[in-house]
Amino acid sequence: MQHFCENVARPASLDDVYNAFGSFAFGAQRILPLGAKPDFFSDLYLGGPNGQGVRNRYRVVYWQIKKLLESADNGRILSIACGSAQPIIHAIYRLAQEGIKIKAVLTDADETSLALARERARQAGVVDMISFRQIPFLKLPKIMKDEEFDIIEACGILDYLDDRLVSFLLKFALGDILKETGAIIVSNMAKTRAANLLRKMYNWEIIYRKPEELGRLIEKAGGKNIKIFVEPWVIHPVATATK
């Protein structure tokens, strides 16, 4: 539990939440937290609605990526502010088991995030399918303006961006580098009764948005065919859209 508390809002804490209960696996290999062994207090805390909501988001992102790419052999994914990128890595792993080869570019401003993603990719045996690039998202338009992707994923970063920066990110994704047949996958945390507690306990500043607010931002940025998947706890909605 101490490891989680010391790393709140960092990729290491998300790794704890994803894997505290061994909920996910690469084949027969259960995925467990890299930073610390779960204890009674972490099980109690991470077993609550917030932890369950994060793991539900993982499942939604994983299934959406897998579904969107099942007919796209040699497809490409871009992750913006990837963190551990575990749902993407999981989808790539499962698709590879089915003979579908996917390439991914994982970007993050933080090298520790990329190191964590690289370790998860190594565990899944898909490192050769992934490029890891240390790029702040504001520099992506200049660095990646000539590339194209089947899926652009940004699940987590919108929680920390005001509407102006969300609009910047979405317009870049939808207008500049997404293929005509591609889709974006984004998420934004919705406010819960625990929001003030998170802020007081961890000084964790999050910009909360309701699912309909997220949908309006995507539509305003030019997104079409918007679908919003609301997980059972209604904490971590996930949206997909085309251009």
Q: Is the residue at 54 inside a domain?
A: no
Q: Is the residue at 131 inside a domain?
A: yes
Q: For 147-198, what is each residue's pLDDT tens digit?
A: 999 999 999 999 999 999 999 999 999 999 999 999 999 999 999 877 676 6
So what's the pLDDT on residue 6? 63
So what's the pLDDT on residue 126? 98
Would you call 1 helix, strand, or coil by DSSP? coil
Q: Is the residue at 93 inside a domain?
A: yes
Q: Helices in the chain by DSSP H: which ranges?
A: 2-6, 11-19, 40-46, 49-69, 86-97, 111-124, 140-143, 163-172, 195-202, 211-220
DSSP tag of 173: I
Q: Is the residue at 103 inside a domain?
A: yes
Count of structural domains within the chain: 1
Residue 94 belongs to domain spanning: 60-242
Mean pLDDT, the chain cut into blocks of 10 residues (243 residues total): 64 90 95 84 85 96 95 90 97 96 96 96 98 97 95 97 98 96 97 73 83 98 98 96 96
Q: Is the residue at 186 inside a domain?
A: yes
Q: Is the residue at 17 inside a domain?
A: no
Q: Is the residue at 21 inside a domain?
A: no
So what's the pLDDT on residue 192? 84
Q: Is the residue at 14 inside a domain?
A: no
CATH of the domain at 187: 3.40.50.150
So what's the pLDDT on residue 229? 98
